[in-house]
Structures are given as C-alpha cells and as structure tokens.
Structure 1
C-alpha cells in the first residue's frame, strides 16, 4: 500500500513523543509550583503590634503571637483585632500564592485567575 503524503508514521510518532515530553514538563512544573505554594506563610501584624498572625495558603492559623499590650485590651477588642490580623495574613498568603502561579504560568493565566477566585471566595 503506497504511503500517503499526508501520513508519515515517523512524523506522527515524533509528534506524540513531543506531546508526551511537554506533558511531563508541565507535570513537573506543577509539582514544583505546588511545593512552593505549600511553603507560603502569610504574616500580618496589627497596627500597634499587639497581634502577629501567620497562616498557610489554606488559611490555617500556624502561629499567633500576642504582646503584653494585647492582654490589656478588652476581650471583645482583642478578639476583633485577632480576626482582622488573621484575615490580613490570609490576604498576604493569597497574594504570595497567586504571584507564584503568575510566575509559573503567566500573569493573569487561567490557573492564576482560578486560584485568585478560590481565594477570594474563601475570604468572604
């Protein structure tokens, strides 16, 4: 059977191998991005330094420091200050995570926008 000018098995195989290599590179890059994001820690300090909060990219509180001045605040004022500071730390972690995605996949890429949307919803 004569070989058609439109079908070259060697060329088709080369395209498949190139596609596989590109997919493997994307998977490796995605793993590196995931590892970098897992290391992100958002940090925020209250205006007068009574509260310092540290969160991971999921918003999980990893550390909370209260100064001696914090213990002199009324309980409701301290709880409000803690919540505000934790939210600010979450925003910091979000900015860092999106920046990592932008670096890896391009600013404003679909994956960066999706991550930003998810983080925005989490903050609501």
Structure 2
C-alpha cells in the first residue's frame, strides 16, 4: 500500500449506497466515485437523480457481484443493513440476521486498501445487547 499525499484525489466505490450519504461527503472532499451498489429501487432512482452516474459501475445485488468485476478503488464505503444488530431491531446478530449478514458480502468482495463502514452499538456485541 502506498501512502497518499495530502490533498490527493482518491477513487471510491459506494456499496449499500442508499441515496449517497458517503458519496456526498467524499465528493465534497474532492474524491471520485467509480461505482455504486444499491438494492432498493427507490434509493437507486434517487441516487441517479442526485449524482452523475453515467459511465460508473453499478450493480443491484452484492450477492451476485464478483470482487474482480469491481473497478479499482482506493476506498470502499458501506453502510450495510443493520436491522438485525441494531438496538431498535430484532437483534438476531451479524451472522444469523438475514439483512445484517450482507456485511460478509462486502468482505467477500473486498480487495482494496481502505474500507470504511458505519457501525451500530450492537455490532461489537454480536447482537447481544
């Protein structure tokens, strides 16, 4: 891994993109989105209306994505579904939860240098809050 210089533009991929919260911040900081993955059709339509996505890699279902298909990126951002591990959710856990286990799909695909994700309180307790 090479060090990045201050102010250097990095490429990122937006996984579980929603309507683009991570993208908004990274683009404002001068970085470039090279692709996004989002399952929800309404979130995808909003994302495409908000951002210029023409020519970017896109996929609907991360479970169908092969890591080698993804464009080169310095950063992967993801806010994976957390309903199964959130205090407000069913607390089925990261492994048994059908939604929260999508986290492992990112790990399966991950081949880049830097990853960033959103956390909820129960993630570190494995759903035992």
TM-score, normalized by length of structure 1? 0.31
Q: Using CA pairs under 8 Å that are at least 6 residues apart, name the structure with larger relative contact order, 1 or 2.
A: 2
**Structure with the higher strand share, 1 or 2:** 2
* Bigger Rg, which one: 1
